[in-house]
Amino acid sequence: MDQVLFIQTGTGIDVHGQNVTKAAVRAVENAILSNSMPGIEKNLPGERLESMKVNVRLAVPLDREKLDIEKVKEAIPYGVVTVDVTDGGMATSSGIVLKDKNDENDLMYMVNAAVEVGY
């Protein structure tokens, strides 16, 4: 990305089920869902949404190998999306194991996201 126009941040949590992808998608949605970008097209090459680049940076606590990058990309509605993953976030006790929620243990996963938009 040559020019970053703005960065949005968010946090996503999977309280039961230890699903790092679910937490990551929620983090991205948290970052972008309460934002509007009027005039973004005028700041993009060719004034086209297709020329927008979006880089998603994720900090995940565990199960990095289980992260479904394609599902994370689907949370971004426009542009060419890349995803960078690093260690981070948090895994902490939910205080209860719920087998009907597919819990393998009592951990809940928290993922942090930074969504960079530019061209």
Calpha distance 113→58 (Å, rounded): 5
Residue owning tokens 């126009």: 5
Model pLDDT, residue 106: 98
Average pLDDT of each block of 10 consecutive residues along the chain (119 residues)?
Answer: 96 98 98 93 95 98 98 97 98 97 97 98
Buried/exposed 68-96: b ≥16 CB within 10 Å, e otherwise: eeeebbebbebbebebebeeebbbeebee
Model pLDDT, residue 57: 98
Model pLDDT, residue 49: 93
Contact yes or no for 61/7 (Cβ under 8 A)? no
Please state, in angstroms and as integers, the Cα–Cα distance from residue 75 to each residue in 7, 47, 56, 64, 102, following that order.
16, 22, 10, 18, 23
pTM of the model: 0.95
